[in-house]
Structures are given as C-alpha cells and as structure tokens.
A and B are shown apart, each in its own frame.
Chain A
Amino acid sequence: MIKVKNLDKSFNNKLVLNDINVSFETGKTNLIIGRSGSGKTVLLKSIAGLHEPDEGEVWFDDVLFNKLDFNAKKEIRKEMGMLFQGSALFDSLTVEQNVRFPLDMFTGKSLEEKNERVNFCLKRVNIINANKLFPSELSGGMKKRVAIARAIALNPKYLFCDEPNSGLDPVTAILIDELIKELTEEYSMTTIVNTHDMNSVIEIGENIVFINEGIICWEGNKDEILHSGCEILNDFVFANAMAKHLLTPGR
C-alpha cells in the first residue's frame, strides 16, 4: 500500500499540489484522474520520488520513502517500475537490451538467465520477434508494451503509469489498460495510473482519485463515478461521449 499524507508541492512559488491525503491499495489498479494541468503527473512523480515534496509524507507500506537518504531510496526504487508518457525507452539500446537493462544493473544472473527473463517479459506483453529492433522502429503501442516489460523485469511491488494511453488508438489503449490490470493482479502490485482517458476509468478504475487544481476533489470507484455529486467531476466525466452514452436512460 502507498499512503500520501499532507503533501504539498510548488514550482516557482506556485502551489501545484495542496494538502494531498490519499491511499493506494495493493493488488488494485488505482487511478489518478483530472484535466490537463491539474497536477496528476506532479503527484505521481512526487510519490515516485522524481519530485521532492515541499511538505508531507509518502509511505511505501511501512517505509517513509520521501525522508530516506539517496542510497536508501535507491533500494526502494529497485522495487518500483514506471511506464512513462513517452515510454522513455533508451534510444541507443534494442528492445531486448532495454528490458535487460535493470537485470544487468541489479542482478548477478548469467546472460542466459537474463535473456530468459527478458523473453518471458516480452512474451507476457505480447511482443514477439522484436528483440533486436530499436525503439525508433517500433509503433507507439509496441513502445508502451516494451516499457511495461522493462518495468516488470525485476518483479516490482509498485507500478506507476503516467498517461499510458496517450497517443494510442482506442483499441491499443484498451489492450494496454487490460495488460496493466492483469499484471497488477498477477504480481499483486500497488499500481497507480495517471490518466484523463474516461475509457480507462471505465475499463480498469478500481480505485479512483479525482484531482483538480492540485486538490483531491473526489475518491471512489468506476461504479460510483458516474453518479457522484461532484460538479467539477461531472463536467470532466460527461465531457466524454462514452460516459454520456453509458448514462443514457434505458441502457
């Protein structure tokens, strides 16, 4: 479980996150939703330790993560995987080398064992016969899947996904969402997904946090979101045609 307590974050004296208190459960797909610029990515990166919070605490199970020193943080980070908005695959490495990178860096396994793990992870995300390709030779959806394979290579306890569907067509987006949900259940990870895609909310939103202008406005699940009394959330939800369709009388 990941807990965030009284977290504040500002950039150039502009408060981006204001007194955030939220818990993310293990084995569930936790979603942070909100409009562009609402502070979702800053919250995710503050939790993951890529931004240093101004105030507040970030707990990974019983470890107060954001107060740890650099080396102690590094140890916890080995238990984290992250899928970035632009995939963030290393351009100079092939697909195989990208997925093997954390294994090279942090395990003493033989090359054969590492390649076995790489092939398992790539197969798990349905990437076949692409081991020797470079990221520039992959489609957007393939890049995301390779990035997921890299993120799960070390069997992480925590998985962070920043806008996993951005730039993908709806069919591929659903496949990525399903993959994230399956992996979360399979490895019993604490997964946090940042998104503004209502399809994702309806597909995989087990635990949803709605953030607006740096403040958490609503928490619930995908069944409750369509009937929330939160006006700002309703504006966000019903801006999407699919949600409107789902609420059509008689459906």
Chain B
Amino acid sequence: MFRFLSLTGRYFLLLKKVFSKPEKPSVYLKQTMFELFNLGFNSVGIITVISFFMGAVITLQTAYNTENPIYPTYLIGLGCRDSIILEFSSTISALILAGKVGSNIASEIGTMRVTEQIDALEMMGVNSASYLILPKIVATLLFNPVLTLLSIIVGIVGGWIAGTTAGVITSEDFIYGIQYAFIPYYITYSMIKTLFFAFIITSVSAFQGYYVEGGSLEVGRASTKAVVFSSVLILLFNVILTQLLLS
C-alpha cells in the first residue's frame, strides 16, 4: 500500500514537472511536430490493418450469431457500427497503442536515463521531464483521435467488405444498417475515451522510463511495466468513463 501511494505521488510530481512553463516554446513545438510523426503517423499502418480485420470479424460473428428470420439483416451493419464506435476503435486501439507507443516511449526515455542523456539535459538547465514528455503527450492527444476516426472508418469498411464477400449481408442492407438509428453522441463518447487513453499511455509509459535505475535489463522491465500498467488503467478508465458518459 505504501509503495502504491509512493508511486502515485511520484507520478503526480512528475506531471507537475512536465506541465511547467517550457524554456523555449519554439523548440517544444518542433519536438511536438517530430512526435506527431513518430508516435502518431507511424501508428497509422497498424491501426488500419487491425481495424480492418476487427470490423470484418465483428460483422461475420454478428451475422452467424443472429441467423434468425426474425432479425432484419441490416442489424448486422448496425451491430458492426456500434461495436466499432463504442468499444473497438477507442479501447482496443488504445490497448494496441499501449503496446506499440507505450513500450517505445518507456524504452526511449529509459535508455536516455541509463546513458545519462537525461542528466546531460538537466546539467544544461533544461527541464528534462517537460522537454521529453510534454511533446509526446501533446502529440498523442492531437493524433490519437485521428487514429480513432480512421479506425472507425476502416473497421466499418472491413465489415462491409467481409459481409458482402461472405454473402451474409447485401451491400444495401449493410449501408442501411450503419445509417439506422445513428447517435452522433457515440462519436463524442469515443473521442473523450480516446483522449483519456492517450494521456494514460503517454504519461504512464514516460513515468516508467523516466525513473529507470540500472541498465538494459531494467529498461526492458520498465518497457513491460509501461504496457501492463497502461493496459490495466485503460480498462479501468473504460469502465469508469462508460458509466459516467453513457448512464
């Protein structure tokens, strides 16, 4: 319990350091642009592939589990749309990004710590926490909603292609289904979750990397912890946010 409180306190102290006034905003802006590419744009590929297959599987499973003349087939499209918007594109994508981006951040910052690059920044009078972590947080907060939107679109397209190719639904029914009883608030809900998850992934992973002590073994452990802690917190906040936003 003491260790948990100590870690939590340390995490919030790090955040305080991260959100202090930047030394030179132009340098931070340049760094943020770099991170947008490094953490955001570089994740487009994996999100596209996973979302496509996720959408395809959701459509096929919905079709095979609702094979009943009572149910109209357009419900397959509706089920695919709502599952993707409400849960898969925000939460599953966040879990995948926790693995990809989270481990990247923890190992990058951890390696900088054990090779004294963070000490070098501190020696120059640079707020190392802010310089290294703030651009990553800003970049993921800006780009992860774009990734979620992309995931929604690609997921639905994946569902449509899989459904029509497998012959479980016609193209017209699927398109009617994804338009039927659409609630725009679901998109807002998905975006709010994405922002929370982006912050969790970046800050928790950076925290794990920033306080590494030792060598490459410890950097590896920090990287693993970053993924595990981020994933658990994403799932926990998923429950909390769902209750708060949909109840």
Contact = CB atoms under 8 A, between A and B. Distances in A.
A241 interface: no
Nearest to A80: B123
B117 A90 contact: yes
Q: How large is the interface on B (under 10, 10 to 19, 20 to 34, 35 or more residues)?
A: 10 to 19
B126 interface: yes
A231 interface: no
Contacts of B49: none
A91 B117 contact: yes
A56 interface: no
Contact of B116 (A75, A81, A86): A86
A82 B125 contact: no
Contacts, number: 58
B156 to A, nearest CB: 37
- Count chain B CB atoms within 10 A of each CB in A48, A50, A80 and give the residue with the most: A50
Interface string B14-34: 000000000110010000000
Contacts of B123: 48, 50, 77, 80-82, 160
B116 A105 contact: no
B46 interface: no
Interface residues of A, number: 26
A85 B23 contact: no
B23 A82 contact: no
B119 interface: yes
Interface string A56-97: 000000000000000001111110111011101111000000
B124 A105 contact: yes
A177 B167 CA distance: 77
B115 A104 contact: no
Contacts of A160: 123
B245 interface: no
A101 interface: yes
B119 A50 contact: yes
B116 A77 contact: no
A85 to B, nearest CB: 7
A140 interface: no
B122 interface: yes
A50 B124 contact: no
A75 B127 CA distance: 12
A102 B123 CA distance: 10
B115 A88 contact: yes
Contact of A82 (B24, B115, B120): B120
Contacts of A104: 24, 27
Interface in B121-151: 122-127
Interface of B: 23-24, 27, 111-112, 115-117, 119-120, 122-127
